Amino acid sequence: MGTLAADQVVPHWTGTLALIAAIVTAIGTVFNPLASYYEHLSAAKAFTTLKHDACEIGEVGGLLSEEQLAERVRCIHNRYNDVVRLAPPTEDWAFEQARKRIQQGVHKPDEH
């Protein structure tokens, strides 16, 4: 667009608009405002998956041998440690907001 504006193929303001759009795109790419959101979303999904896997062990644990049960528990323990290590830290304001929601009964845990 800048070349077309310089060659006067399109109006001059089109080149200015293209420059502004390029700057906004570059800033958005560098700062990536949604990166934190996606990091926390991925961590939440990983914790939810672990919770469901642990519930599944509780449901079928009686059908497993002691060695099989111990192996599954060790596996979930290792996965949990990995998720905790890789999860982004929770901001204080987000923790307080979640705590208030839980205390108000807005969030109800799964019944397993």
- For residues 80 and 50, is the Cβ–Cβ distance under 8 A? yes
pTM attached to this predicted model: 0.62
Residue type, 105: G
Over residues 86-95, the pLDDT tens digits come to 999 988 988 8
Classified as helix, coil or strand, 106 is coil
Same domain, 6 and 51: no
Over residues 21-79, the pLDDT tens digits come to 888 888 877 777 788 889 989 999 999 999 999 999 988 888 989 999 999 999 999 99
Same domain, 49 and 87: yes
Domain count, the chain: 2
Same domain, 55 and 87: yes
Same domain, 94 and 64: yes
Q: Which domain does 39 fall in, by range?
A: 35-112
Same domain, 49 and 6: no
- Where b means 16+ CB within 10 Å and e means fewer, 25-39 reads eeeeeeeeeeeeeee
Same domain, 57 and 16: no
